[in-house]
């Protein structure tokens, strides 16, 4: 019997179904994306964070969950502070540039 639940899709993340194609691409070009411990230093120090919610931590998380990243990147000024503070030594600027480059809009 159909209870109508399929009309409103669940907002739960189904890890079996997420689209990780962009994340996989970045694992090749910027392999230190795997090192992120989501500490939030990057977001805290970001010059654009208060204007746009830009956060490298969220960027990596969204990539890993197959969620959208375009809006968040609209304000990155490439100033490099996130790279300076990352305790895992991730080259966050390269990551951002690669995402900007390899991103393809989902239909």
Partner 1 sequence: MRERIPSGFDPFVLPFLIGMGFVLLYCLLAALRVLWQCPREDRRRFFISLITPTTALKNIWDIFANCLIHVKLWRRNRMLGFMHSSIAFGWFMIILLGHLEVLFFVPHRLNLFYYPIFFNYFVAETDTTLRGSFLFFLMDFFLLMILIGIVLAVIKRVRSRLFGMRRTTRLSFLDTVGLYSLWLIFPLRLLAESFTASISGGSFLVKPLNWLLEAVLGTQFLLNPANNLPTWWAYSIVLGVFMVVLPFTRYMHIPTEMMLIPMRNAGLRIRHARRGYALLEIYSCPGCGVCIDACPMSVKKANIKDCTVYLNRQLRRGNEKRIEEISDKCLLCGKCTEVCQVGVEGPALRIFQRARRQYAINPDYGTVQVSAPASGAKLLYFGGCMTALTPSIGRSMESVLGKLGIDYTWMDRDGGICCGRPMLQAGRFAQAADMVRRNTELIKASGADTLLLSCPICYKMFRDHYKLPGIRVVHHTQYFEELRRSGVLKLSKSDLCYAYHDPCELGRGCGEYEAPRGLVGAAAFIVEAEKNRGESICCGGSLGSLSLSFQQREAMTRKALDNLTVGGPDAIATACPLCLATFSRYSSIPVRDIAEVVDLSL
Partner 2 sequence: MKESVIIIGGGVAGLEAASQLLALGLSPVIIERSDHLGGHVAEWYRLFPDLSPAQDLIARLVDSASGARIYLETEISRINALKDGYSATLNNGDVLFCKAVLVCTGFHLFEAAKKEEYGYGIYDRVITNRDLEHWFGGAEDERITDNPKAIGFVHCVGSRDVKAGNTQCSKVCCMTAIKQAIELKEKFPESEIYCFYMDLRLFGKKYEDFYISAQKDYGIHFIRGRVSEVSEDIEGRLLVKAEDTLSGKPLKVRLDLLVLMAGMVCHPQTARIASMVRAEVDDDGFLRSRDNIYSIVESGRKGIFFAGACTGTKTVPETVAEARAAALSAYRYIKGNA
Region 13-72 residues binding partner 2, contact defined as CB under 8 A: 37-46, 49-50, 53, 55, 57-58
Please report how close the Cβ of residue 98 comes to partner 2 at its closest, in angstroms: 21
DSSP per-residue codes, the chain: ---SGGGS---S--TTT---HHHHHHHHHSGGGGG-----HHHHH-TTHHHH---HHHHHHHHHHT---TTGGGG-----HHHHH-TT---HHHHHHHHHHH-----
Q: Which of 33, 16, 32, 28 is nearest to 69 (CA)?
A: 33
- 103 contact choice in partner 1, partner 2, none (CB below 5 to 8 Å, kind-dependent): partner 1
Instruction: Between 57 and 96, name the residue whose CB sits nearer to partner 2.
Output: 57
84 binds partner 1 (CB under 8 A): yes
89: left (phi over 0), alpha (psi -120 to 50) or beta: left
Candidates 13, 21, 100, 106; binder of partner 1 (CB under 8 A) is 100
Binding mask 20-59 for partner 1 (x = CB under 8 A): ------------x------------x-xx-xxx-------
Binding site for partner 2 (CB under 8 A): 37-46, 49-50, 53, 55, 57-58, 81, 84-89
């Amino acid at each position: 019997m159909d209870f109508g639940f399929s009309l409103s899709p669940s907002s739960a993340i189904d890890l079996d179904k997420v689209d990780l194609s962009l994340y996989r691409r970045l694992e090749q070009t910027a392999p230190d994306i795997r090192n992120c411990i989501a500490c939030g230093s990057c977001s805290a120090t970001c010059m654009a964070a208060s204007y746009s919610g830009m956060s490298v931590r969220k960027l990596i998380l969204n990539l890993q969950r197959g969620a959208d990243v375009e809006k968040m990147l609209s304000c990155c000024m490439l100033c490099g502070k996130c790279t300076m503070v990352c305790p895992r030594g991730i080259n966050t600027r390269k990551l951002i540039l690669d995402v900007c480059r390899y991103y393809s809009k989902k239909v």
